[in-house]
Amino acid sequence: MFSRLVRLDRVLDFFTVWNMATGIAVSTLLLTATPASSQPVPGSLDVHWNEGASDCNIYLLIGSDKALLIDTGAVADPKPMPLAKTILELLPEKNHQKLPLLVVHTHRHLDHRAGDPQFASFSSTQVVPFNLDGVRAFFGFINWPNGIGHVDLGGRTVDVIPTPGHNETHVAFYDDRTGILFSGDFLMPARLLIDDAAAYHESALRVIDFLKTRPLTHILGGHIELNAAGRAYRFGSHYHPNEHRLELVRADLTALPAAFEHFNGFYARYPKYILTNPIHNLLAMAFIGVTALIFIVWGVRRLLRRRCG
Ligand SMILES: [Zn+2]
Ligand SMILES: [Zn+2]
């Protein structure tokens, strides 16, 4: 097990856990609280990430009363990936006790919550359920996917924005201290896997509207699947040389609704992301396969009829 902690400045700590046995890398951005002001605190993302993060990025935000962990990654076993232990060590103390921890998920896909059970035995940790009813109830959404949820960490507020489309439970988190949007699989330099295109389109408009009056420093997503030239790595690959930058900007978000309006329902490549509907693509491949089979059978029967007179 090899781990690395790089201190950037007072605001952003960059933390990477690299597992030698499985080749799994998890990048954790640790964001600490600073005195309140109306503008985001200054920070830097000028870091070199591990070239192997095929599994989801995990983010830890620390307020003066509480800490927030966004996603728990793809590895359940604490032996190769001691996530809970690592996070607990990172938590600062208040009144001689570790800060309480709230664990949330961008959505219920397993690669964003497999580490949940590691937190089960920690008394000062609360894990928010990953199903839709649990998400709605915890954040107080009475008219899902409309409305905004709030998490008060003490001196910093994290807003919760419903963003279904990739998955029905998807939410994005906006941190007012850093002006960062944690976008999960909704928006990232990767394949944007579409489950419900109409909901996705609405979510993009919702996030744009939410951010209209707020500063936005970075958009940090759940995965990096593109290289610097915008080409996708093989599905599931653990080695990502020459990776695309993690952070996206407001213009990438504002371009998203138009990308959906022009989407052919199957696949579209843009410089910063790829829109793809896996179910439609599978159905199209199945249709092509069945059509090819029908033609082959028809051709063989025709040939046999001719031969046999
Ligand atoms: Zn996902
Ligand atoms: Zn994911």
pLDDT at 27: 52
CA of 261 to the centre of ligand 1 (A): 22
Arithmetic mean of pLDDT over the chain:
86
10-residue mean pLDDT series, the chain (309 residues): 32 40 46 61 72 74 96 93 92 95 98 96 94 98 98 97 98 96 97 97 98 97 92 83 92 98 96 93 87 91 84
The bound ligand whose nearest atom lies closest to the alpha carbon of 278 is 1
How far is the C-alpha of 119 from the C-alpha of 101, rounded, in Å? 10
- Comparing C-alpha atoms, which of 129, 222, 115, 113 is closest to residue 172? 222
Please tell me the distance between residue 89's alpha carbon and the centre of ligand 1 in angstroms: 28
Per-residue model confidence (pLDDT) at position 9: 32
Q: Measured in angstroms, how far is the CA atom of residue 262 from the centroid of ligand 1? A: 23
Q: Token pair for residue 6? A: 């790089």
Q: State in Å: Cα 277 to ligand 2 middle.
A: 15
- Segment 229-240, tens digit of pLDDT: 989 998 878 788
Three-state SS letters, the chain: CEEEEEECCCCEEEEEEECCCCCCEEEEEEECCCCCCCCCCCCCCCCCCCCCCCCCCEEEEECCCCEEEECCCCCCCCCCCCHHHHHHHHCCEECCEECCEEEECCCCCHHHCCCHHHHCCCCCEEECCCCHHHHHHHHCCCCCCCCCEEEECCCCEEEEEECCCCCCCCEEEEECCCCEEEEECCCCCCEEECCCHHHHHHHHHHHHHHHCCCCCCEEEECCCCEECCCCECCCCCCCCCCECCCCECHHHHHCHHHHHHCCCCCEEECCCCEEECHHHHHHHHHHHHHHHHHHHHHHHHHHHHHHCC
- Tell me the β-bridge partners of 149: 160
Q: What is the pLDDT of residue 280?
A: 85
Residue 219 tokens read as 């958009």
Ligand number, closest to the Cα atom of 108:
1
Any idea which ligand is nearest the CA of 190? 2
For 166, the token pair is 């990739």
* 265, 277 contact by CB (below 8 A): yes
Q: Report the C-alpha gap between 170 and 49 in whole angstroms.
A: 25
Are 274 and 232 in contact by the 8 Å Cβ rule? The answer is yes
Provide the residue type at 87 as one letter.
Answer: I
Please state the domain extents for the chain: 2-276
How many angstroms does the Cα of residue 47 sit away from the middle of ligand 2? 22
Distance 107 CA to ligand 1 centre (A): 7
| pLDDT for residue 158 | 98
Which CATH code fits 2-276? 3.60.15.10
What is the 37 CA–ligand 1 centroid distance (Å)? 34
User: What was the pLDDT predicted at 198?
Assistant: 97
Within a 13 Å sphere around the CA of 151, how many CA atoms are in the beta-carbon half?
29
For a pLDDT cut of 70, what percent of the chain falls above it? Answer: 84
